[in-house]
Chain A
Amino acid sequence: MSLTMALVSPAQGADGGASEEVAARRRGRTGVGLLLPGAIYLVAFFAVPVLALLATSLYAPVPGGDVGQYLPALRWENYAAALGKFWPELLRSFWFALLATVAALVVGYPVAYVIAVRARGHRLLQGVLLVLVVAPFFTSFILRTIAWKQVLADDAFVVASLRWLHVLPDDGRLTATAFAVVAGLAYNFLPFMILPVYASLERLDVRMIEAGGDLYAGPFTTFRTVTLPLSMPGVVSGTLLTFIPAAGDYVSASLLGNPTTTTMIGQVIDSRFFRVLDYPTAAALSVVLMVVIALLVTAYVRRTGTEDLL
């Protein structure tokens, strides 16, 4: 832009500069106009609710009131109380989300690689594989998780085969275990991992891989030093799209977990809001979850040097 102006203005003189300014102002107004609908939407349905949530997290119970009756206040000890009581669930949520993200990356990256690089030039095959990746979205999230419950049930083939292979002890089970919850999370968010990784590998020039081989890098070294770094934007967006919703998820844990050792923070928030009617604690936990995720994501993106994604 500045280059264009520098090239244009000497020839056009003062007149050209003035019309340039008018044009710039008009572009500015158009820009504001285009942003307006989105801005209104965000203020109404994001900014206001978040502020309401922050306010709720500081509410105090009505003295002598019923369950679920609160007054606006600045009760900061709500946070200490919520964290003091529910820190294990909070930590577990991030731990499970991390495990699920790693699992989704390990499973999803090769799938994305095959579709984007190996199947390159075979448009039909690529199309079919991509449809298969998104096919689970044709069924509801909850239905699929319930189906997983069946798949991992004690009398289903997965457990039977694992017992037969002695991977599981004879009385071992998968339902209601942490494994089932993490597997469910990884499964549900897998397409969110595959698609961004695919998108970035799809743009990878295969001559880069050839150049790696030409410069004495074996297949693994070429992957580590060329392919993986070049697909990092996809890996970062894929891991974010998996980790963030997985950390707040409560469907997998409710349907595939047990009530004691697999409870995630989403379940706690859900039950505090809708069953115990302990709004301040639920709101405080929600705020903590948001803040921690925001901090983790910022640190992660900084670390991987992909700031331009934010």
Chain B
Amino acid sequence: MTAAPALELWGVRKEFGGQVAVDGVDLEVPEGSFFALLGPSGCGKTTTLRMVAGLEQPTAGAVSIGGRDVTGTPAHRRPVNTVFQSYALFPHLSVLQNVEFGLRRQRVPDARARALAGLQTVRLAHLADRRPAQLSGGQQQRIALARAIVNNPSVLLLDEPLGALDLALRRAMQLELKRIQAEAGLTFVHVTHDQEEAMTMADTVAVMNAGRIEQLGPPAELYELPRTPFVATFLGRSNLVAGTVVEGSGGVLGVEVAGARLQVPADRSAVSDGPVLLGVRPEKVRLSAQGEPPPSGSNVLGPGTVTDVSFTGVSTAYQVDLGALGVHEVFAQNTTGAPTSRPGDTVHLAWDVDFTFGLVPDAAAAS
């Protein structure tokens, strides 16, 4: 027998005065996982989180925590805690009193000792008597985290918790959050618009757009095999070209793209005939100079003109103008020590068929 998932959502929908914020979300978050809800601002991810916390009531659908339906349960009776985006620490209480707050409300007998232990987890026990206003942003963030985790919630909700921190601190806190999640063994649901943050920290990422979950899976899977044009462009970058499936045999689809013939493995394509959007990640693409024979098993596009070369240290980013097919990006590892092409060079783009993915074209991403 398997334990009930820490969190389940069934067809959760939320409207605000006729505006649909969340449009039928189904989710299942396993116990002990680090789950990220990733999406642009306004995609409904925070509203979804607030419905789990009980701070908003869904217009339709159900929320279940640890196998118990909590849809109508008010926030203070749900076994979840939130790390708010602005931390929402109580300014009139000391750091220790803030951390103790939830334990006291639940009448936990050794509230003070547990709160101190929580402060030790975030390595801020020495600040127990300070007021939140006397702390830096990063310290406040950790106090907010301690205040939530000491309650040992079934699900810990994090609403863009690192949004207000500067880059260096954000990187440090990402590692800290992962460490704490692993040590405490809690289920984390993390809302963020930062795809790198989601991919670094979470073991499962759900990409949300316009109130719906577009795709859900481990970060590497989402990255290597995006299933929608939105995921392909929001999570990392993609080169996309529109084409038509013209043949399908032996598990490989043949696609005609502006006179050229490209291939995509059938199991990596969301469509098996008709219009298709083919994509590949920029670091999978190689530049081949005029006349150089492409390796076998490759898709080739071109010729095109290199319009920009940016050296970024570990890699070099090339912009290649393919005329009617638009401008494409190529990231090349700096293994040879110098860029291999210059602006103005005529090149072909080549990549392994196995890295190609096929998507259902939609109006927004085709442009």
Contact = CB atoms under 8 A, between A and B. Distances in A.
Nearest to B157: A214
A45 interface: no
Interface stretch (A205-213, A273-281, A283-291, A292-300): A205-213
A221 interface: yes
A218 interface: yes
B90 A214 contact: no
A230 B90 CA distance: 9
A210 B88 contact: yes
Nearest to B92: A229
A138 interface: no
Interface in A194-218: 205, 207-208, 210-218
A212 B91 CA distance: 13
A214 B105 contact: no
B76 interface: yes
A218 B75 CA distance: 8
Contact of B81 (A215, A218, A229): A215
A213 B76 contact: yes
A138 to B, nearest CB: 37
Contacts of B90: 208, 211, 226, 230
Interface in B89-110: 89-92, 101-102, 105-106
Contacts of B53: 214
Interface secondary structure of A, over-half rule = helix
Contacts of A205: 86, 88
Contacts of B74: 213, 218
B102 A215 contact: yes
Contacts of B105: 215-217, 221
B55 interface: yes
Most chain A beta-carbon neighbours within 10 Å: one of B89, B90, B91, B147 = B90
Nearest to B89: A211
B238 interface: no
A125 to B, nearest CB: 16
Q: How large is the interface on A (under 10, 10 to 19, 20 to 34, 35 or more residues)?
A: 10 to 19
Given A207-B86, A207-B88, A217 B76 contact: yes
Contacts of A213: 54-55, 74-76
B92 A210 contact: no
Nearest to A211: B88
A204 to B, nearest CB: 10
B175 to A, nearest CB: 25
B346 interface: no
Contacts of A226: 90
A230 B88 contact: no
B82 interface: yes
B288 interface: no
A208 B101 CA distance: 12
A49 to B, nearest CB: 40
A5 B116 CA distance: 38
Given A210-B55, A213-B54, A213-B55, A218 B76 contact: yes
B75 A210 contact: yes
Given A207-B86, A221-B105, A214 B55 contact: yes
Contacts of A215: 76, 81, 101-102, 105, 147, 151
Contacts of B223: none
A74 to B, nearest CB: 49
Contacts of B76: 212-218, 221-222
A288 to B, nearest CB: 36
A261 B23 CA distance: 69
Contacts of B92: 229-230, 232
A216 B106 contact: yes
B61 to A, nearest CB: 21
Nearest to A206: B88
B355 interface: no
A206 to B, nearest CB: 9
Contacts of A221: 76, 105
A226 to B, nearest CB: 6
A205 B105 CA distance: 21
B151 A216 contact: yes
A188 B147 CA distance: 44
Contacts of B75: 210, 213-214
A143 B88 CA distance: 47
A55 to B, nearest CB: 46
A210 B106 CA distance: 17
Interface of A: 205, 207-208, 210-218, 221-222, 225-226, 229-230, 232
Interface of B: 53-55, 74-77, 80-82, 84, 86, 88-92, 101-102, 105-106, 147, 151
Closest 10 CB pairs of A and B: A215-B102, A213-B75, A216-B105, A211-B88, A207-B88, A229-B92, A213-B76, A214-B82, A217-B105, A215-B101
Given A213-B74, A215-B101, A217-B105, 19 more contacts: A205-B88, A207-B88, A210-B75, A210-B88, A211-B82, A211-B89, A213-B75, A214-B80, A215-B76, A215-B102, A215-B105, A215-B151, A216-B106, A216-B151, A217-B101, A221-B76, A221-B105, A230-B90, A232-B92
28 contacts: A205-B86, A205-B88, A207-B86, A208-B88, A208-B90, A210-B55, A210-B75, A211-B82, A212-B76, A213-B54, A213-B55, A214-B53, A214-B55, A214-B80, A214-B82, A215-B76, A215-B101, A216-B105, A216-B106, A217-B101, A217-B105, A218-B74, A218-B76, A222-B76, A226-B90, A229-B92, A230-B90, A232-B92
